[in-house]
């Protein structure tokens, strides 16, 4: 405890000193000051970002009692990302893992995969058949249909249940807001992957009806990485990052109906289809001859979803003033191929592993949430959520010894994960109390019941297994205005994550091909204790905030070597370890200057440890320190230009895959980008906009740290061109 208090004290001192000096991306983080304090010479007035994800009520970000990031429509349009995950690059406390147009996933404070809950319009997209470090794809949601992205940086299990142990990403899609016809048409082209992306949407409100439809098609080739040196790796020439492209499309339709004022129903249908996507890799013969060649591909993925719901805003019932009832069915079908060649001293001698997997995950779920106002200062939010994943899959596995006489092949049709189901039921209650205009306090709790069970599976001869988790979690949050325009934010909470089907039941070679993973159905749920403490400040010139946090995970699930071998490979198994810890510091600010100028930046320090084994043993694979800065000019809504620079500091990592060609140190790198855009024509409600961006301006060879262990560098210098029309 003395060590923790010392850390918090040092970080709070750093916040107080550094808040006026560092900054955050203008579009992504800055809440707007009150209207009466907006500078009169500003080129444009930006609305105050509002979040609903953090507290389940519409709240100004500045007055939200927890760390939150909000990306608005302007930020999304200007950055022209492939998926919403690309928007995370360079935001305080956030990072990405994966490469290419399809496979990039979010990280929050060093946590990724199943420790991050991905929502679409408040409904969970996570499924329990993903590898624990992968998580679900944000690419399932067409980024051109996104109204805003809300990120809660820290656990939110009280409101959202399992998987929210590291944070929540809620992708909120666009719906028609005004009577009459509205629509858009957009095109995106990028040079590094020769990508073509076309999107169109149309919709509107006619009487009591709300209708919308949209579609998008994208074709991207595997991109090129530049020649250069990164750590101990040197690429003499530009290299192709194989399997980093995709051919995909998305379709979406919405029908809403207003039963009466304040009472609405809707049904929404979505489809996403992707072909030729992959994990991404550079041929090791180009930088480390003799290293294993690993290719992980998704020949296709199909995702279909139907959601429906009712919203009542004017109930005035004894138990509820507002009520939301939503239900959904989604079907996620995908094929995965894993090809690994492990050479034994010669390129023509070694072990070839070929896996083929087909998985179909059907999910049925729903949420009932009510809100009741008690007196003038208390709001109760309560309800229940439930979902069930049901998986069906088949596997083939060929293992061939090559170069030692005639090829010797062993084949197996035994499923690596048996058919299984995962059921979750949770009930929650949260009380929000406002003490005048200066303070807000939130207390909440949840009870969760989870069950996972295997089913009879062709080719599977093991015993059927069932496992259960029952968990209670709670949280307390507060924000207090201690001086004019200065607020103190504090939160403490317990969160959890139930082991998924892969962690409990997977039995086969690991996806990276370095070992064999055995099942462990006796895994316990992870639980965490998270503490956040921060300051926020804003006036008509400046917005600044700083947070120090510590998230300690008990019974943390980690894959560890057993010391045995299976099928000639080292055996690994997911186990519970006593304590994993992540703590850090996030500083950000954004200053508006005269004549349309703005400057800003942010700094993040992240420290992750496996406290059980070694105080010096990291558990995260993201950066340790990151510094971001930008300068921006805007002339009303007619023209804007921005320069942005990001520097990731060197990271010493004693746990970083011994023998990896990069070395035991993750090298520092700096990446720069310039962007600009203009409204070239405006006629009534119709606007034509063009955007240009040059990314990786210095054409440097680098890899995001989460992609370094399995070396996947970022694209070379690229030109991105966008054109969109809205009406």
pLDDT for the residue 657: 54
pLDDT for the residue 321: 96
> Is 725 within 8 Å of 202 (Cβ atoms)?
no
> Is 381 within 8 Å of 430 (Cβ atoms)?
yes
Strands 116-120 and 111-112, sheet pairing? unpaired
21-25, 45-49, 622-626, range with the lowest pLDDT: 21-25
Three-class SS state of 406: coil
How far are the Cα atoms of 193, 245, 322, 514, 712 from residue 279, in angstroms, in the given order? 15, 10, 44, 16, 9
CATH topology of domain 2-726: Maltoporin; Chain A (2.40.170)
Separation of alpha carbons 420 and 389, rounded Å: 8
Strand-pair partners of 426: 385, 448
- Condensed to tens digits (0 to 9), the pLDDT of residues 48-67 reads 688 999 999 999 999 999 99
Averaged pLDDT for residues 148-176: 94
Separation of alpha carbons 567 and 561, rounded Å: 15
Strand-pair partners of 227: none
**pLDDT-derived band at 11, boundaries 50, 70, 90:** very low
> Is 342 within 8 Å of 378 (Cβ atoms)?
no
Residue whose token pair is 């919203």 = 311
**pTM for the full predicted model:** 0.90
- Kindly write down the DSSP assignment for every residue of 253-277, as one continuous string: EEEEEEEETTEEEEEEEEEEEEEEE
Rg over CA atoms, the chain: 25
- Condensed to tens digits (0 to 9), the pLDDT of residues 212-252 reads 999 999 999 999 999 999 999 999 999 999 999 999 999 99
Averaged pLDDT for residues 623-644: 95
Residue 168 has pLDDT above 60, yes or no: yes
Averaged pLDDT for residues 577-601: 94
> Is 550 within 8 Å of 579 (Cβ atoms)?
no
Q: Supply the mean pLDDT for the chain.
A: 88
- Per-range mean pLDDT, top range of 458-467, 502-511, 622-631: 622-631
Locate the domains of the chain by residue range.
2-726
Residue 102 has pLDDT above 90, yes or no: yes
pLDDT for the residue 511: 65
Secondary structure letter of residue 26 according to DSSP: H
**Cα dihedral 594, 637, 85, 365 sign:** positive
Separation of alpha carbons 306 and 331, rounded Å: 9
């Amino acid at each position: 405890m003395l060590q923790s208090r010392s850390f918090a004290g040092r970080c709070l001192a750093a916040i107080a000193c550094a808040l006026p000096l560092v900054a955050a991306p203008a579009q992504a983080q800055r809440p707007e000051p009150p209207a009466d304090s907006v500078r009169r010479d500003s080129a444009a007035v930006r609305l105050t970002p509002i979040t609903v994800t953090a507290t389940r009520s519409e709240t100004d970000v500045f007055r939200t009692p927890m760390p939150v990031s909000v990306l608005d429509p302007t930020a999304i349009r200007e950055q022209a990302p492939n998926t919403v995950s690309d928007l995370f690059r360079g935001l305080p406390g956030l990072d990405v893992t994966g490469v290419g147009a399809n496979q990039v996933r979010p990280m929050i404070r060093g946590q990724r995969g199943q420790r991050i809950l991905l929502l679409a319009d408040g409904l969970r997209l996570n499924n329990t058949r993903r590898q624990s470090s992968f998580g679900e794809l944000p690419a399932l949601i067409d980024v051109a249909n996104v109204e805003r992205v809300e990120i809660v940086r820290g656990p939110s299990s009280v409101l959202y249940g399992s998987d929210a142990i590291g944070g929540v990403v809620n992708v909120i899609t666009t719906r028609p807001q005004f009577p009459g016809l509205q629509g858009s048409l957009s095109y995106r082209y990028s040079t590094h992957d020769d990508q073509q992306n076309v999107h169109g949407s149309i919709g509107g409100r006619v009487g009591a009806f709300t209708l919308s439809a949209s579609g998008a098609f994208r074709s991207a080739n595997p991109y090129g990485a530049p020649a250069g040196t990164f750590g101990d790796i040197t690429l003499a020439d530009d290299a192709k990052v194989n399997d980093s492209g995709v051919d995909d499309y998305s379709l979406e339709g919405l029908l809403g109906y207003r039963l009466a004022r304040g009472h609405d129903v809707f049904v929404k249908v979505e489809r996403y289809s992707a072909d030729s996507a992959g994990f991404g890799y550079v041929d090791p013969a180009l930088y480390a001859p003799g290293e294993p060649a690993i290719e992980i591909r998704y020949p296709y993925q199909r995702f279909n979803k139907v959601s429906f719901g009712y919203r009542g805003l004017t109930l005035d019932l004894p138990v509820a003033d507002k009520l939301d009832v939503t239900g959904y069915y989604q079907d996620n079908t995908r094929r995965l191929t894993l090809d690994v060649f492990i050479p034994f001293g010669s390129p023509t001698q070694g072990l070839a592993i070929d896996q083929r997997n087909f998985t179909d995950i059907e999910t049925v779920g729903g949420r009932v949430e009510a809100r009741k106002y008690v007196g003038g200062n208390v709001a109760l939010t309560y309800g229940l959520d439930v979902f069930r994943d049901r998986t069906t899959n088949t596997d083939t596995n060929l293992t061939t010894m090559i170069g030692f006489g005639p090829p010797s092949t062993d084949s197996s049709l035994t499923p690596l994960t048996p058919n299984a189901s995962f059921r979750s039921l949770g009930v929650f209650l949260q009380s929000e109390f406002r003490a005048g205009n200066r303070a807000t306090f939130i207390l909440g709790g949840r009870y969760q019941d989870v069950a996972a069970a295997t089913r009879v599976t062709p080719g599977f001869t093991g015993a059927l297994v069932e496992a259960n988790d029952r968990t209670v979690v709670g949280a307390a949050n507060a924000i207090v205005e201690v001086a004019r325009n200065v607020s103190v934010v504090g939160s403490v909470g317990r969160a959890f994550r139930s082991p998924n089907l892969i962690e409990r039941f997977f039995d086969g070679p690991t996806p990276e091909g370095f070992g064999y993973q055995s099942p462990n159905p006796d895994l316990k749920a992870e639980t965490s204790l998270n503490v956040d403490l921060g300051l926020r400040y804003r006036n008509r010139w400046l917005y600044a905030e700083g947070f120090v946090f510590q998230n300690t995970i008990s019974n943390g699930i980690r894959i560890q070597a057993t010391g045995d071998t299976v099928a000639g490979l080292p055996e690994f198994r997911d186990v519970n370890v006593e304590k994993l810890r992540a703590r850090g510091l996030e500083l950000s600010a954004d200053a508006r200057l005269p004549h349309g100028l703005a400057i800003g930046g942010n700094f993040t320090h992240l420290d992750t440890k496996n406290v059980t084994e070694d105080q010096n043993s990291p558990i995260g694979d993201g950066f340790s320190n990151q510094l971001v800065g930008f300068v921006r000019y805007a002339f009303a809504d007619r023209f804007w230009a921005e320069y942005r620079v990001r520097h990731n500091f060197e990271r010493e990592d004693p746990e970083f895959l011994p023998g990896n060609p990069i070395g035991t140190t993750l090298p520092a790198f700096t990446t720069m980008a310039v962007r600009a855009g203009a409204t070239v024509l405006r006629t009534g409600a119709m606007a034509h906009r063009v955007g240009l961006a040059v990314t990786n301006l210095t054409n440097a060879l680098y890899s995001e740290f989460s992609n370094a262990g399995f070396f996947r560098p970022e694209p070379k210098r690229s030109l991105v061109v966008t054109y969109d029309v809205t009406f």
